[in-house]
Amino acid sequence: MTVIAVSMVLGFMTALYYMYRSRHSRSMILSLVLIPAIEAVVIMMINGNMGTGIAVAGSFALIRFRSIKGSAKELTCIFLAMAIGIICGTGYVAVAAVFTVLLLGVAFLLTYAGFGKESPNGKYLKITVPEALNYDTVFEDILDEYTTSHELVSVKTLDLGSLYRVEYDIDLKYPDRVKEMIDVLRTRNGNLEIMCGSKAGEKEEL
């Protein structure tokens, strides 16, 4: 019971970190709390029994996860929860506690300090252009004027090739002049769809 209780407490700590400064679902939080205890019980039941271990591995191999892509933070927390369960299940409860506190302490510190955070002026820009328009060069002078840097990262065809959607990573030179930049771009792309947004929602996946 001690192992299960400690596993759930450490899982709860992992869930608290996951909730910190990020959108989350109730099911994900419950999973992070319960996964370590489940993993610990499985490890204790195996307890060196090779046959049982193979049977458990086979049953887990049959599980197929069908879900939306997870963010880097979600995957990190799930792996941490599994590691906690394995360490507790093998009897090293104190090691699991120290490992969790140390790892989450570093994670909280780096998150609070803004380590690795994107520049607030960093955006992604999606522009729909007609097939006949040369997207390689037609927007260069506008982007040079309104951004400090820009990079073409993807091109996608739309409507059976009659349209293209080009995507740029940009750093705005004038964050308060986004509308002005879009209005100028519209004069080049025939007033087709243009979207400018934060990089965060696009780049969180691991």
DSSP string, 108-123: HHHHHHTTTPPPTTEE
Q: What CA–CA distances, in Å, run from 174 to 71, 137, 186?
A: 30, 22, 18
The per-residue pLDDT for 66 is 47
The per-residue pLDDT for 206 is 44
The per-residue pLDDT for 95 is 87
Q: Which of 41-50, 54-63, 107-116, 138-147 has the highest mean pLDDT?
A: 138-147
Nearest to 73 by CA among 13, 3, 14, 147: 14
String of b and e for 68-94 (b: at least 16 CB within 10 Å)? eebbebbebbbebbebbbbbbbbeebe
pLDDT more than 70, % of the chain: 81
Domains for the chain: give ranges and CATH numbers.
Answer: 2-113 (no CATH), 122-197 (3.30.70.1380)
* Phi (first) and psi of residue 198, to 5 degrees: -70, 145
Mean pLDDT across 122-144: 92
The per-residue pLDDT for 76 is 79
Mean pLDDT across 63-75: 61
The per-residue pLDDT for 141 is 94
Global model pTM greater than 0.75: no
Q: State whether residue 94 is helix, strand or coil.
A: helix
Mean pLDDT across 113-136: 84
